[in-house]
Amino acid sequence: MFQQSKTASRIDAEQLEQLRTRIQDYCSRNSTLAHTFISSGYVELDAILPGGGFLPGQLVEWLGEGHGSGAGMLALHAAWQVASPGGILVALDRDQLFFPPAASALGINLDNLVLVRAGSAREEFWALDQVLRSAEVAAVWVSLDHCNDRHFRRLQLSAEQGGTLGCLVRSARVLGQPSWAHLQLLVKPVCLRGPAPADNTRQRQLEITVIRCQGPQQGRRVVIDFPQ
């Protein structure tokens, strides 16, 4: 009996050591990815984000009211910050509302932009899942309507697997609903008072609030100047 106990203990210790080695190897291979925060392009916004920016493999919900909220353009700008070092930015545009010249005006290199226009919501979800899993894609931008809990969880796992930043532009009406996003940001335009400058160069202001995140940043907000 004593000999059997020793054998069992030795086997358990060997298995434990193997597991420890595998974990250390995994952490070593993924340590750079796990700690590489990428700036949003706005110092003020970075200041309220966990880690001071976005991480590859994150899903970020950008919530706004309608197309004039600024959420879509700000999300696109953030996605490009992740892709601009040389990666590919994929934009899914089933509703055909994406305007490439406006993207170019934000400084996005259209040569690094892939525009996907699926014929149905089902096809778009399939494409979204595939590009999030792709290691060649740095960031994905999509205007996402309804997404059930199971599909949302699948997108989260796909983003983590591919190390791809997923920028999901959604209606503020989903506030309070279950979410698998790592980060949830509410974007609202700020009403500017007073006459416009003579040269009409006054920029638009957007208020961003951290609705959901891991860390003490939840509830923080900031106002930034954003190009018209």
Per the CB < 8 A criterion, the answer to whether 110 and 103 are in contact is: yes
The pLDDT score that the predictor gives to residue 194 is 52
Q: What is the DSSP letter of 57?
A: T
Same domain, 105 and 46: yes
Could you read off the pLDDT of 155-173 as tens digits, one per residue? 999 999 999 999 999 999 9
Q: Which structural domain range is residue 4 located in?
A: 1-34
Question: Do both 56 and 23 map to the same domain?
Answer: no
pLDDT value for 166:
97
Specify whether 30 is located in the same domain as 86: no
pLDDT at 102 over 70: yes
Element (H, E) at 110: none
Q: Is 71 helix (H, G, I), strand (E, B) or coil?
A: helix
Each residue's pLDDT tens digit, 132-161: 999 999 999 999 988 899 999 999 999 999
List, in sequence order, every beta strand (DSSP E) within 87-147.
88-92, 113-116, 137-143
What average pLDDT score do residues 204-215 get? 91
- The pLDDT assigned to 129 comes to 96
How confident is the model at residue 196, as a pLDDT?
A: 54
Q: Is the domain of 23 the same as that of 57? A: no
**CATH code for position 153:** 3.40.50.300
93 in the same domain as 21:
no
127 plus 75 within the same structural domain: yes
Q: Does 56 lie in the same domain as 19?
A: no
pLDDT at site 222: 95
DSSP codes, 86-98: T-EEEEE-TTS--
Q: Quick one: pLDDT at residue 216?
A: 85
**What pLDDT is stored for residue 31 in this prediction?**
41
Q: Which residues pair with 64 in a beta bridge?
A: 171
What token pair was written down for 46?
Answer: 């970075």
pLDDT tens track for 2-20: 343 333 334 455 655 555 5
Residues 80 and 30 occupy one common structural domain: no
Mean pLDDT of the chain: 83
Cα–Cα distance between 147 and 149 in angstroms, integer?
7
**Tokens linked to 145:** 């309507």
41 and 13 inside one domain: no
> What is the structure's pLDDT at 204?
85
Q: How far apart are CA 36 and CA 29, in angstroms?
A: 13
pLDDT (tens digit, 9 = 90+) per residue, 41-95?
999 999 999 999 999 999 999 999 877 789 999 999 999 999 988 889 999 999 8
Number of domains within the chain: 2
> Do 109 and 7 sit in the same domain of this protein?
no
From the CB of residue 106, how many other CB atoms can be counted at a distance below 10 Å?
14
Same domain for 62 and 115, yes or no, is yes
The edge-to-edge listing of strands for the beta sheet with 137-143 is: 113-116, 88-92, 137-143, 165-171, 59-64, 183-189, 204-212, 221-226
| pLDDT, tens digit, 9 for 90 and up, residues 176-194 | 888 999 999 999 999 765 5
Confidence at 29, pLDDT banded by 50, 70, 90: very low
Query: Are 8 and 80 contained in the same domain?
Result: no
